[in-house]
Structure 1
Amino acid sequence: MDQLALLEGIAKISVFVSLLMAFFLLTVKTDNKLANRLFAFFFIFSAIDLSGFFTYIYNENHRNLEIFRSTFCLLGMPAFYLYVLSACYSDFKLQWKHLVHLLPFIITNLLFIPRIYLSIEDGSFIGPLNQMSEIYFIQILIEFQYVFYIVSVFLILRKYKEIYLENYANPSTSTYKWLFQMTCVFLSAHLFVVSKNVLRYIVLREIFLWANVLVGSIALFITCWFIMKALKHPELFRGINSKLKLTKDILPEADEKLGSENVQNDSIKNQITELKQYMTEKEPFLDPSLTIQELSNQINMPVRDLSILINHHIDQHFFDFVNEYRIQKAMHILKDQSKNQLTVLEILYEVGFNSKSSFNTSFKKYTNLTPTAYRNS
């Protein structure tokens, strides 16, 4: 089997798997339908892009169709960007302003590509497509677009993580980990694509073909990885409210409303004392899904004031603040001889954790020991 036949076989499998994943996302029952639909469109655009590894044979006499197909790659990253927004924020909705993400695709086809379409239609252009100056423009535009969206996604994930830690106590951060891993995988895969495109102009055709085989294999592996993730974690996403603000953003507003420094310090000390007393006596941290909104309702304090109190004055994320009480209770249980029949798994669920890995990480961070080592010490 030569390189071209191998490449076509891999590409056909990748396209089939991508379309299968898109079908699954469009039909599966879930609360976050918008995120699934956007991710499905990403796979559809990826399938159209990957089909270029074998459709060029059929489009040899229809080059305008082949060029139009190649421009669909300009829709992939916008779809992924909007998918990340919808996966991170539970209240995200598509708006008219989001049509701006279609501009590269539309402008390319309306302003630049028609010159190629017309020259092909009237037979005035003869030669391979990759020698057209407009094709170079498309490749450069794709790279600029990719950098823009990758940087934008990383910024979204950084803000998402900060807001999550300041407002939620659930130790599961599966959404952030999933999206961060996926973005890193996309970035790594794209570096291979860029290297492959460079090889087009500096090495022998045979080496370039093997580079295409490698890129096609990577695309197939990534798509299969997505499917395994979807099957293993069907309820992967936990969005946060996009209206939530970081403490550093609302702190200046709150400081302006406070009185003198002495009165402020006394008030803050009293609030911290009352909060810690409530945490010790009522143990709200036993709820694994506790959020800062729920705690603010329980202690009758505005959520913004509670956020500033914990994240700024106590100098802890809400996530760490709550988990510290969970760890302290777990430490007490582990040392209680009357409860030595309880397993570590039973204890972590009892104190409000819902993941063994998260419990072990938090416990070791707080005590420098594993739960088992602490119990035996």
Structure 2
Amino acid sequence: MQTIINQFVYFAYFQSLFLLFIYIFSPKNRKNINGYLVFLIVLLAVGLTGRIIYISGIFGQNFRFYAFSEFSILMFGSTIYLFTQSSLRGKKFNLSDLIHYIPGVLYILIIVLYFMLPSDQIIGERAKSGELFRVITLLVGTGLAFNITYWILSCRLFFQVKKKLRNELSFSIKTGFFSNFLIAIGLCLTCWLVVYFISIFGFDTIERTARRTIWLSIALIILFITYYGIKEPELFKFGRQTGNKKYQQSKLSIEDLDNLKVALETLMIEKKPYLNRKLVKSELSEMLGISNPEIARLLNERIGMNFFEYVNYYRIKEFVELAKSQKVENLTFFGLAQEAGFNSKTTFNKSFKKLMGMPPKDYFQN
């Protein structure tokens, strides 16, 4: 088992160096990749370096090198959160973000002062008295609590932004990959939490082996996500899908809303903006000559739909008309849906069933 774990350590280590090499020597990838992903790789490289030195025995089986590998533990959670915030909201780095790393810096100082600087004799006495085990248990528990807290904040932010995007966009975006990333991190942290409680009850050998495995799992997940960050950077740019322009609050009267409702319906029928598969709410509001909050109020109070539902309602109507035309002879249902403005087969099927009460195939058979 230990041999397999060591092989994973070497694989993750050299993979992290390879990705850093690509980032440093490829201007194109350096421009596209999220900076927090790069910092995650650096953290992995630092943590894995200590493990590589320890298991290789270059300087003997000195536990201080193993302690060195713990430097990055409290940096993971905060970096994942800042990466999530940067990807979902398009937030750029600010010096105030460094406050999230203060606990990590303090953690490193404790590791250095308590585990690395004292002599072997002092460490041995602490181990015999049980003090060393208590301190390690406290530090591991602190690291777990810290990382779990930031993971929860990341998940909360993800669901908030996903809900907001549904009210701003008329099309579906690829959030599945990002959500799977958070789920995988959550599963690793959950397993780590279970292993932590196992160690408290005296099964420290199981805890040490399992914790190394879980830590490596997190490393491989981050390396995997970083690979896609280089290969398909658009997967992590949700924050750029919506405009950041700020508007004043709506001051429209009831009569204004009624007039705008008629104007909006006329616009949708005559200019068919819904045929744009990437239509966003800010674009439609500009076409109507009103602000983003005002069109949101119009949709909610006078139409009873959010932006996503409203635009796809017109796309369904367009689809039904196309299905009655000669185009149906040359195109599939999804081909017609794309002609009507849909960019996703899943979104089309869900929208059609919600509006018509049945799938497209059943509707036309009936």
TM-score (norm 1): 0.81
Distance 2:204 2:276 in 1: 61
1:51 Cα offset (Å)? 5.6
Tell me which residue corresponds to 2:334.
345
Assess, with a 3 A threshold, how the Cα gap between structure 1 residues 320 and 208 changes in structure 2: closer, same or farther: same
Distance 2:227 2:30 in 1: 20
SS at the partner of 1:149? helix
Distance 1:159 1:360 in 2: 24
Distance 1:213 1:105 in 2: 19
SS at the partner of 1:119? coil
Tell me which residue corresponds to 1:75.
75
Tell me which residue corresponds to 2:169.
168
Tell me which residue corresponds to 2:7.
9
Assess, with a 3 A threshold, how the Cα gap between structure 1 residues 24 and 159 changes in structure 2: closer, same or farther: farther
SS at the partner of 1:316? coil
**Two-structure CA RMSD over aligned residues (Å):** 3.3
Distance 2:327 2:115 in 1: 81
Tell me which residue corresponds to 2:132.
131
Matched, 1:290 2:289: no
Tell me which residue corresponds to 1:89.
89
Distance 1:285 1:341 in 2: 22
Percent identical among aligned pairs is 22
1:203 Cα offset (Å)? 6.1
Alignment of 1:1-377 (within 5 A): 3-24=1-22, 27=26, 29=28, 33=32, 36-50=34-48, 55-57=53-55, 58=57, 62-90=62-90, 92-110=91-109, 113-120=112-119, 123-126=121-124, 131-169=132-170, 171-174=171-174, 176-202=175-201, 207-208=206-207, 211=210, 215=214, 218-219=217-218, 222=221, 226=225, 229=228, 233-236=232-235, 237-240=237-240, 243=244, 253-254=249-250, 257=251, 264-336=253-325, 339-377=328-366
Check whether the contact 2:23–2:29 (CA below 8 A) recurs between aligned residues: no
Assess, with a 3 A threshold, how the Cα gap between structure 1 residues 193 and 63 changes in structure 2: closer, same or farther: same
**Structure 2: unaligned runs, 5 residues or longer:** none
SS at the partner of 1:288? coil
Assess, with a 3 A threshold, how the Cα gap between structure 1 residues 312 and 110 changes in structure 2: closer, same or farther: farther
TM-score (norm 2): 0.83
Check whether the contact 1:64–1:116 (CA below 8 A) recurs between aligned residues: yes
Assess, with a 3 A threshold, how the Cα gap between structure 1 residues 98 and 209 changes in structure 2: closer, same or farther: closer
Tell me which residue corresponds to 1:261.
none
Moved more, 235-244 or 66-75: 235-244
* Deviations 1:78-117, CA, capped at 9 Å, x for gaps: 2111111111123x21111011011011222346742444
- One-letter amino acid of the counterpart of residue 157, structure 1: F
Number of residue equivalences: 358
Distance 1:31 1:6 in 2: 33
- One-letter amino acid of the counterpart of residue 84, structure 1: T
Check whether the contact 1:13–1:220 (CA below 8 A) recurs between aligned residues: no
Assess, with a 3 A threshold, how the Cα gap between structure 1 residues 371 and 317 changes in structure 2: closer, same or farther: same
Distance 1:339 1:50 in 2: 58
Check whether the contact 2:67–2:111 (CA below 8 A) recurs between aligned residues: no
Assess, with a 3 A threshold, how the Cα gap between structure 1 residues 335 and 113 changes in structure 2: closer, same or farther: same
- One-letter amino acid of the counterpart of residue 74, structure 1: L
Assess, with a 3 A threshold, how the Cα gap between structure 1 residues 137 and 209 changes in structure 2: closer, same or farther: closer
Distance 2:123 2:219 in 1: 35
Check whether the contact 1:286–1:350 (CA below 8 A) recurs between aligned residues: yes
- One-letter amino acid of the counterpart of residue 15, structure 1: Y
1:41 Cα offset (Å)? 1.8
1:230 Cα offset (Å)? 5.3
Distance 2:188 2:197 in 1: 15
Assess, with a 3 A threshold, how the Cα gap between structure 1 residues 374 and 221 changes in structure 2: closer, same or farther: farther
Check whether the contact 1:63–1:120 (CA below 8 A) recurs between aligned residues: no
1:223 Cα offset (Å)? 5.3
Moved more, 157-166 or 339-348: 339-348
Assess, with a 3 A threshold, how the Cα gap between structure 1 residues 338 and 63 changes in structure 2: closer, same or farther: closer
Distance 2:42 2:286 in 1: 44
Distance 1:360 1:32 in 2: 37
Check whether the contact 1:15–1:48 (CA below 8 A) recurs between aligned residues: no
Check whether the contact 1:89–1:242 (CA below 8 A) recurs between aligned residues: no
Check whether the contact 2:74–2:104 (CA below 8 A) recurs between aligned residues: yes
